[in-house]
Amino acid sequence: MPPTSKKSKLFRVYSWNVNGLRAASTKGFTEWLEGCKGEVVGLQETRVRPEQLEPSLLSPKGWHADYVAAERSGYSGVGLLARNRWTTLQTSLGVEEFDVEGRVQIAQFGRLWVVNGYFPNGSGKERDNGRVPFKLAFYRKVFEVLEPLRAGGGRVLVMGDFNTAHREIDLARPKQNEKTSGFLPEEREELDRWVRAGWADTFRRFEPGPGHYTWWSQRFGVREKNIGWRIDYVLASEGAMGFVRGAGIQAEVKGSDHCPIWVDLDPGVLEA
């Protein structure tokens, strides 16, 4: 692990599936953003075009902002907020069927790369698992794009809604969901593949215990009973993991069916 930088303030990165940014803004998102003390915030499922946003969301005070919308109205979408502007920003994977859904931002902050991704749900229109092949293809394309960076020792974080619970410990009712998209063997194996390649699940490096979730059904009482799934992650490459000093889940924060997650990094991660 690299020595801690002389700069005392940690570099905090947040990820949050807001399930509609305009809706979240009426449920405390703006107040959360003002008090979050993060340096970078990645949002997923924004479900809005930039021109539809109020100025306070399009360009929040004290933040640089970028939004990527899906071609389909009211669907998908990601947003990136940063205290200090990124050096580069890429919003395409080079595959039209993925790019039209507005699912990724790849930003560089000095030596650190932050990938904000909204990974597809595998459920089809008929509430079957018909979109699982599309979902897995998206996973593999993101992996392929990032592999040269990771393999070269790059400091990379991949954050967002992965729409998959990795282990039985990551959902309240694993047995009942073995045939449900989000906990299928082939979906879990894809996360296994990332881990085998060297990506670290930052949260699990600090918290091995059960009962920690990031998404809950909106059915009455489910969240209160903590019957949830942990499907939001920050994965770190080997080059970045040495700078990670903590990771957590803000389960108490409402405003969406997901809650925010975070990682703290030594600020030296940005430097040469």
Tell me whether strands 64-68 and 78-82 are parallel, antiparallel or unpaired: antiparallel
Give yes or no: 161 in active site.
yes
The CA distance from 212 to 252, in Å, is 11
Tell me, letter by letter, the H, E, C secondary structure of the chain.
CCCCCCCCCCEEEEEEECCCHHHHHCCCHHHHHHHCCCCEEEEECCCCCHHHCCHHHHCCCCCEEEEECCCCCCCCCEEEEECCCCCEEECCCCCHHHHCCCCEEEEEECCEEEEEEECCCCCCCCCCCCCHHHHHHHHHHHHHHHHHHHHCCCEEEEEEECCCCCCHHHECCCHHHCCCCCCCHHHHHHHHHHHHHCCEEHHHHHCCCCCCCCEECCCCCCCCCCCEECCEEEEECHHHHCCEEEEEECCCCCCCCECCEEEEECHHHHCC
The structure tokens listed for 92 are 């395409």
- The catalytically annotated residue of 99, 128, 161, 266 is 161
The structure tokens listed for 100 are 């039209």
The structure tokens listed for 253 are 């924060």
Name the residues annotated as catalytic.
Answer: 161
